[in-house]
Structure 1
Amino acid sequence: MKEVFMQLSWNGASSMKADLETDIEIARRVGYPLLEIWGAKLRHYLQGNSVLDLADRFRESGVKPLSINAVDKTTYSGKDFADGEKTLREFAFIAGEIGCETIVVVPGRRPPGVTDNEVKDETVAVLRAFGDIAATYGVKIAFEFLGFPGCSVRTLEKAWDIVAEVDRPDVGLVIDTFHFHVGGSQLGSLRRIDSSKLFILHVSDCEDRPAAQLQDAHRLLPGSGILQFKRIADELKATGYDRLASIELFRPEYWERDPFELAAAAKTATQKALGIPE
């Protein structure tokens, strides 16, 4: 069987105070073949540059854009649904032009009294509609569940049921190890998924706190906290997943560090935690 996680990606949320051009240079210099683009940085870059400029920048760097993060609150958005649809079209057009294969989308909050079946129906409908839009640009949709209380889809089990119901090759999953823990997903649920539908694995560790208290600021470098990375890697390897792992730290304390030093430390930590050969 192949080694698991053959490629590493840097995520722009890990170096939030750096701009997009710096993120590309971080990935190039530190040795990440892939980069997840943070949406706000993308918009800032395009205020003074064109989409073709960005395509050239990626081509010259040798770094491939993996995804654009993210279209937020895509379900239960009410009158704001049109804004999410507009953002998706914007990101999908750019993604198609620069050779970026995926747009990450996340669910909204769960309204009071809504049942699990209603959440599933709502989310399936939105993902199918978004899949239709993205497909016109040759782009895929990656659905990321969030473990925080109040989110409408908090666990891998429910997210997988939704993606399986959507049943499209261009709509898949993001699994974030932090949200996997926060929402109470079970390690055994990793074996339920079709590995071809796991588009992105976000990796970060977690402080030892009660799950209800956890926020993104409690993320840690892989191997520095309580998450069972070897078990996660073993379970995913059993499904045949061997594609990539993307480092999304999202910790404000880390944003104060030199981003190149942080990216190098994160790469080493992730390789060790997941058993990736250097």
Structure 2
Amino acid sequence: MNQRRNILKGLTLLPAMTVLPQVSKASPKRKSNFRYCLNTSTIRGQNPGIVKYIEIAAKAGYDGIELWVEDIKKFVDEQGAPALRKLLETNRITAENAIGFAPWMAMDEARSAAGFQQMEEEMNMLAAIGCRRIAAPAIGNDGPIDLLAAGEKYKRLLVLGRKTGVRPQLEFWGAFKPFHHLGQTLAVAAAANDPDARILADVYHLFRGGSGYDGLKLLNGQAIEIFHMNDYVDSIPREQQEDKDRVYPGDGAAPMKQILTDLRNMGGEKVLSLELFNRTYWEQDPMEVAKTGLAKMKAAVKSIG
């Protein structure tokens, strides 16, 4: 008993910090790093060709470029993948993503099988030029999509992505009734149950499909790698808006500060890619359009501090 009393007495004389458990300070959450990319749709109407696309993106000051698979294939068929890879390296521009349209998610199994074969061929081609990602939309469906079945297909596509070294980015289109909402996309990504699942979202498509923007708060830093930047006007009803109505980021009605703040707070690297189809811009000098778009994206990011 005396020994126990002496131990307790000794404890009361120790400094409080040596008796109480230490509470470690949590490390502050790392915020996103933004990089800037040009989707070639933005200057597609001028039809400069893939060589000029790359040169314009580089000279305008972009970090990366989003090429369309059909343009890549045309160049590769004519000059080979090594020539395109060298062109990208010479211009010090990264092929961040490729825009493709393989019907891998089709509920019709024959069509889906053809889509997977197309995806594998395109992924191998992209790997050869140093592109690590490909867009994976739900094209090939005319009716309702079984989201759990789509999740199983996306899982298979992610396995194929690991095999080829090109990660598929699950994409939704706001005006595409079978797969137009962020909620559907989240369901498919969750059903895939795969650590490499990624969502390709877009300011315009989130608006056009009625998703809104608060759903972005549900995503962590790994879920989004590529984010398409654009804006929408409030003078056209949502259901009547088309791709051609997109405007430069900050020139429309989108809550740009909220969107970019949520993207920043997710953590992880984010590639902000300018994707426009505005025919008025297509009539202008492509270099000026590219520079203007980059300046507006950087101004929007700067506005959130």
SS at match of 1:126: helix
| Equivalent pair of 1:5/1:245 in contact (CA under 8 Å) | no
CA distance in 1, matches of 2:51, 2:200: 25
CA distance in 1, matches of 2:69, 2:273: 16
Task: Provide structure 2 residue ranges, at least 5 long, that are not aligned to the other structure.
Answer: 1-28
| Equivalent pair of 2:169/2:199 in contact (CA under 8 Å) | yes
* Equivalence for 2:124: 93
* Equivalence for 1:255: 282
Using the TM superposition, name which of 77-86 and 41-50 deviates more.
77-86
SS at match of 1:10: strand
* Equivalence for 1:145: 172
Alignment of 1:12-91 (within 5 A): 12-16=40-44, 17-76=47-106, 78=108, 79-91=110-122
SS at match of 2:280: helix
User: Which residue of 135, 145, 162 corresponds with 1:104?
Assistant: 135
Question: CA offset at residue 256 of structure 1?
Answer: 2.1
CA distance in 2, matches of 1:61, 1:273: 26
| Equivalent pair of 2:201/2:228 in contact (CA under 8 Å) | yes
CA distance in 1, matches of 2:103, 2:302: 34
Question: CA offset at residue 73 of structure 1?
Answer: 4.0
Change (3 A) 1:137 1:186: same
The amino acid of 1:93's aligned partner reads N
Q: Deviations over 1:120-164 (max 9, x none)?
A: 1232122122222222111111011111152x2212222122212
* Equivalence for 1:180: 206
The amino acid of 2:194's aligned partner reads R
CA distance in 2, matches of 1:98, 1:272: 32
* RMSD after superposition: 2.2
User: Which residue of 38, 61, 64 corresponds with 1:10?
Assistant: 38
1:193 maps to 2:224: no
Alignment of 1:172-251 (within 5 A): 172-208=198-234, 209-251=236-278
Change (3 A) 1:274 1:119: farther
TM-score scaled by length of structure 2 = 0.83
Question: CA offset at residue 259 of structure 1?
Answer: 1.1
* Equivalence for 2:22: none
Change (3 A) 1:9 1:130: same
Question: CA offset at residue 276 of structure 1?
Answer: 7.0
Using the TM superposition, name which of 210-219 and 36-45 deviates more.
36-45
CA distance in 2, matches of 1:156, 1:84: 23
CA distance in 2, matches of 1:258, 1:37: 19
Number of residues paired by the alignment? 273
CA distance in 1, matches of 2:137, 2:221: 20
Question: CA offset at residue 62 of structure 1?
Answer: 0.8
Change (3 A) 1:242 1:229: farther
Question: CA offset at residue 172 of structure 1?
Answer: 0.7
Task: Provide structure 1 residue ranges, at least 5 long, that are not aligned to the other structure.
Answer: none
SS at match of 1:205: coil
CA distance in 1, matches of 2:96, 2:60: 16
The amino acid of 1:104's aligned partner reads A
TM-score scaled by length of structure 1 = 0.90
CA distance in 2, matches of 1:185, 1:105: 19
Using the TM superposition, name which of 74-83 and 87-96 deviates more.
74-83
Using the TM superposition, name which of 232-241 and 56-65 deviates more.
232-241
Among the aligned pairs, what percent are the same residue?
Answer: 22
| Equivalent pair of 1:160/1:193 in contact (CA under 8 Å) | no
